[in-house]
């Protein structure tokens, strides 16, 4: 996977546009703008406690020079912001470069006149400049992002369980040895995640850079434990346990980590955990009849269609050779007819011309993005995101892109 840093690169001005009587322009936020960014942020999402303000400044300072914080300015006045987090996202066991869009804000007095859309157009272009082949975001509202090609794709699943149900999951003898994690374990933890995500053909979860992983392992209220093929990071939350992440590459490690969490059962009644939709733990539980799952939805967009298709993994047995027509008014390079060739777990998309006399499958960029993320063709068709084509082509596309995507992390 390509991961670009752009040290010292000057980005092209993304653009300027007339909105009402004023011309606003989009450009990089600099250190001198940070007080205004914070003010905008508070007006959009509510106040931040002083300790969080310091953490926020520490977090954003390094990303400014990387072209990852954009502002819309009316003269000198900052009226809107967005941040692009540098992630990798796993798709059927392969990681692609993903721009995670966060902190989208428009000043209250400037809302409702197209600034948000202008900001997001620039943000998508900047994702492309940064080499991100796909982008994702947690939407507070859908229409803005949908109008620019993002579509609902997956969820962050938070399951709540009785702590006692986890306590007994450990192996009776010969269990896995766990050790406490420290910030210097960041590279090892990242390697473990990569191995497990590749082997389990993970769809959707994020890979973080070392700086961020180190920061998360430094939080003294988080407790981390490592195994050779897994780890857990959890904390206390109002007398109960909150599992930020638990990844296990084998049954024995899953049992060891979940039962470690379960040892809190004398104090904590419940455990709430971010999990895969088919987390193996759910099959280890002795009893299961109702799942209590809270979902926060995320939206997804292909930024560079050919690179995204080539970067993703596919089920090994699926052989597909079919043409789709994609319409992406925002990024015309993605528009047109594409020959999708999937074979041996790898895929390519090659620009072609639609075959004459055949009913080609036609997708909006939102539809193509949702298909890429495993949304069923039957749903896409009935939602108007997929037209043309044939039932056989639908089946083939569905088999090639099959996925139940999730994310563990909120951003």
Ligand X SMILES: CC(C)(COP(=O)(O)OP(=O)(O)OC[C@H]1O[C@@H](n2cnc3c(N)ncnc32)[C@H](O)[C@@H]1OP(=O)(O)O)[C@@H](O)C(=O)NCCC(=O)NCCS
Q: Where are the alpha helices (DSSP H) in 185-247?
A: 186-199, 210-218
Residue 105, interface with ligand X (CB under 6 A)? yes
Residue 117, interface with ligand X (CB under 6 A)? yes
Q: Are residues 315 and 154 in contact, defined by beta-carbon separation less than 8 angstroms?
A: no
Report, in Å, the least distance between residue 30 CB and ligand X. Answer: 21
Cite the beta strand spans of 9-91 per DSSP E. Answer: 15-19, 22-28, 69-74, 77-91
Residue 46, interface with ligand X (CB under 6 A)? no
C-alpha to C-alpha distance for 22 and 40, rounded to whole angstroms: 19
Alpha-carbon distances of 284 from 170, 232, 376, rounded to whole Å: 10, 17, 28
Segment lying near ligand X (by CB under 6 A), choices 100-108, 149-157, 184-192, 323-331: 100-108
Residue 78, interface with ligand X (CB under 6 A)? no
Residue 44, interface with ligand X (CB under 6 A)? yes
Report, in Å, the least distance between residue 253 CB and ligand X. Answer: 35
- Nearer to ligand X by Cβ, of 100 and 139: the residue is 139
Segment lying near ligand X (by CB under 6 A), choices 10-18, 55-63, 102-110, 311-319: 102-110
Residue 50, interface with ligand X (CB under 6 A)? no
Describe the crossing of helices 210-218 and 186-199 by its angle, rounded to 10 degrees.
Answer: 110
C-alpha to C-alpha distance for 365 and 121, rounded to whole angstroms: 14
Residue 144, interface with ligand X (CB under 6 A)? yes
3-state secondary structure of 127: helix
Report, in Å, the least distance between residue 326 CB and ligand X. Answer: 22
Residue 64, interface with ligand X (CB under 6 A)? no
- Nearer to ligand X by Cβ, of 123 and 307: the residue is 123
- Nearer to ligand X by Cβ, of 104 and 349: the residue is 104
Residue 19, interface with ligand X (CB under 6 A)? no
Q: Residue 80's closest CA among 112, 50, 115, 46?
A: 115
351 CB-near residues (< 8 Å, 6+ apart):
306, 336, 337, 338, 339
- Nearer to ligand X by Cβ, of 38 and 320: the residue is 38
C-alpha to C-alpha distance for 346 and 319, rounded to whole angstroms: 10
Residue 114, interface with ligand X (CB under 6 A)? yes
Interface residues with ligand X (CB under 6 A) are 44, 104-106, 111-117, 139-141, 143-144, 147
């Amino acid at each position: 996977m390509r991961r670009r840093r752009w040290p010292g690169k000057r980005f092209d001005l993304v653009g300027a546009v007339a909105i009402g009587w004023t011309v606003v322009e989009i450009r990089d936020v600099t250190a001198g703008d940070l007080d205004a960014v914070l003010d905008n942020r508070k007006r959009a999402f509510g106040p931040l406690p002083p300790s969080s303000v310091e953490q926020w400044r520490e977090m954003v300072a390094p990303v400014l020079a990387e072209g990852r914080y954009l502002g819309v300015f009316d003269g000198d006045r900052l009226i809107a912001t967005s941040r692009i987090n540098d992630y990798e996202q796993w798709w059927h066991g392969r990681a692609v470069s993903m721009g995670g869009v966060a902190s989208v804000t428009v000043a209250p007095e400037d809302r409702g006149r197209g600034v948000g859309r202008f900001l997001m157009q620039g943000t998508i272009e900047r994702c492309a400049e940064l080499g991100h082949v796909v982008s994702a975001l947690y939407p507070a509202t859908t229409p803005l992002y949908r109008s620019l090609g993002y579509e609902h794709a997956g969820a962050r699943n938070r399951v709540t369980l009785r702590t006692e149900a986890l306590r007994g999951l450990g192996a009776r003898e010969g269990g896995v040895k766990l050790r406490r994690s420290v910030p210097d374990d960041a590279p090892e933890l990242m390697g473990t995640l990569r191995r497990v995500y590749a082997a389990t053909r993970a769809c959707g979860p994020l890979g973080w850079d070392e700086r961020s992983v180190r920061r998360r392992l430094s939080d003294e209220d988080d407790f981390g434990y490592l195994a050779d093929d897994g780890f857990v990071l959890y904390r206390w939350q109002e007398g109960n346990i909150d599992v930020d992440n638990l990844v296990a590459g084998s049954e024995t490690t899953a049992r060891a980590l979940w039962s470690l969490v379960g040892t809190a059962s004398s104090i904590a009644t419940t455990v709430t955990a971010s999990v895969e939709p088919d987390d193996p733990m759910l099959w280890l539980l002795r009893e299961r009849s109702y799942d209590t799952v809270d979902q926060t939805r995320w939206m997804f967009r292909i930024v560079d269609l050919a690179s995204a298709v080539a970067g993703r993994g596919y089920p090994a047995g699926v052989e597909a050779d079919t043409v789709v027509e994609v319409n992406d008014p925002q990024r015309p390079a993605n528009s047109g007819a594409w020959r999708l060739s999937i074979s041996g777990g790898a895929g390519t998309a090659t620009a072609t011309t639609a075959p004459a006399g055949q009913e080609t499958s036609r997708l909006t960029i939102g539809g193509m993005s949702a298909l890429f993320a495993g949304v069923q063709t039957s749903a896409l068709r009935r939602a108007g995101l997929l037209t043309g084509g044939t039932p056989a082509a639908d089946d083939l596309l569905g088999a090639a892109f099959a996925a139940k995507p999730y994310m563990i992390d909120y951003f």
